[in-house]
């Protein structure tokens, strides 16, 4: 086996190994470490412990299904920009929260801090706050409902802690870089193998 053949095979295998390693690593990342039903009964406190395995910016939010009319849901989730539209559907969210790690308070806030939302086809998430999460670190999130949120119960509210969109953008950029590296390795490996095959055939013709 010639040096070109060995190098070509090595590059092809390296390219596939890079892509497989990236894919395997990405599949083991938990981008939504917390998604759990939450009761919005007045004065009730909910506590959740979780550990991250991915360094990123995370968002803390309340997720609700779009089972209520859009206008009412926006009012109940306290994201309607014009309060006059919510006279008949007051907010069901009055939540205070605290994030801690190893018994030390890291961040706190409430549902009035930032009226940010995230949405998909059948869910709406009211963002309560953000924090920079570290892989391997254990966290505790404590939420207290300061008002009766029973009017939101039909929307099946959940506490959701998930990687922020901006972190996914960075991850996608890294994925493009990894794919490019893998593709280049495979491409140059195939070129070397083609050259080695051509040289072998040429040598055989001269021998004959």
The CA distance from 34 to 159, in Å, is 7
Rg, C-alpha atoms of the chain: 26
The CA distance from 126 to 34, in Å, is 15
End-to-end CA distance of the chain: 20
Q: Are strands 158-163 and 116-119 parallel, antiparallel or unpaired?
A: unpaired
Instruction: For the chain, list the strands marked E by DSSP.
Output: 34-37, 44-51, 56-65, 95-101, 104-110, 116-119, 123-133, 138-145, 158-163
SS3 state at 207 = helix
pLDDT 10s per residue in the chain (208 long)? Answer: 778 788 888 999 999 999 999 899 888 989 999 999 998 888 889 899 999 999 999 999 999 998 888 888 888 888 887 878 888 888 888 899 999 999 899 999 988 776 666 666 678 888 899 999 999 999 999 999 988 888 888 899 999 999 987 777 778 888 899 999 999 999 999 998 888 887 777 666 666 5
The CA distance from 93 to 77, in Å, is 6
The CA distance from 44 to 147, in Å, is 9
pLDDT at 161: 94
pLDDT at 208: 58
Are residues 142 and 47 in contact, defined by beta-carbon separation less than 8 angstroms? yes
Distances (CA, A) of 102 to 105, 161, 191, 205: 8, 19, 54, 74
Number of H-type helices and E-type strands within the chain: 3, 9
pLDDT at 205: 63
DSSP codes of every residue in 122-135: SEEEEEEEEEEE-T
The CA distance from 77 to 154, in Å, is 13
C-beta atoms surrounding 93 within 10 Å: 22
SS3 state at 45 = strand
């Amino acid at each position: 086996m010639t040096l070109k053949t060995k190098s070509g095979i090595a590059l092809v295998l390296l390219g596939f190994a890079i892509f497989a390693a990236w894919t395997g690593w990405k599949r083991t990342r938990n981008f939504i470490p917390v998604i759990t039903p939450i009761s919005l009964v007045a004065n009730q406190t909910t506590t959740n412990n979780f550990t991250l395995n991915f360094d990123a910016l995370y968002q803390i939010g309340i997720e609700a299904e779009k089972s209520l009319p859009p206008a009412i849901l926006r009012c109940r989730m306290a994201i309607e920009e014009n309060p006059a539209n919510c006279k008949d559907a007051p907010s069901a969210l009055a939540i205070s929260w605290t994030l801690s790690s190893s018994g030390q308070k890291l961040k706190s806030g409430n549902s009035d801090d930032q009226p940010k939302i995230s949405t998909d086809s059948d869910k709406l998430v009211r963002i309560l706050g953000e924090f920079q999460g570290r892989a391997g670190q254990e966290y505790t999130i404590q939420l207290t409902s300061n008002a009766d949120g029973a009017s939101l119960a039909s929307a099946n509210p959940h506490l959701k802690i998930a990687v922020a969109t901006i972190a996914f953008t960075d991850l996608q950029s890294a994925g493009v870089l990894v794919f490019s590296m893998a593709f280049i390795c495979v491409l140059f490996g195939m070129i070397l193998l083609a050259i080695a095959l051509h040289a072998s055939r040429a040598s055989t013709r001269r021998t004959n």
